[in-house]
Amino acid sequence: MMPPDNYPASHPSYAPLEDRPFICDLCSLAFQRQHDLKRHRDTHKGEKPHMCNGGCGKTFTRKDALKRHQVGHTILSTFRPAADKFPE
């Protein structure tokens, strides 16, 4: 997952990878703070076993909810590449 070349380096969600030393061993998402990784890791266990593999890290309790969400990725990346919001 690479940021666009012209993306402002100061944007918080696009910190350079070398500034994100905390990497999830389950899905390889990287985080700047251990707290964020810890919170993220909690999403892997328990009640929400269906995780989006589209890079957003969202998890869902039901497979059909995940499927509907992933359709949103496809539509948004096709028609609205700059969109930063995905349907739940």
List residues near Zn ion by CB under 5 A. Answer: 24, 26-27, 29, 52, 54, 56, 58
Closest to Zn ion by CB, 8 vs 81, is 81
Minimum gap (Å) between residue 43 Cβ and Zn ion: 7
Minimum gap (Å) between residue 28 Cβ and Zn ion: 7
Closest to Zn ion by CB, 7 vs 53, is 53
Q: Which long-range contacts (CB under 8 A, 24 or more apart) does 71-75 make?
A: none
Q: Where are the beta strands (DSSP E) in the chain?
A: 22-23, 30-31, 50-51, 59-60
User: How far is it, in rounded angstroms, from Cα 12 to Cα 45?
Assistant: 26
Minimum gap (Å) between residue 40 Cβ and Zn ion: 5
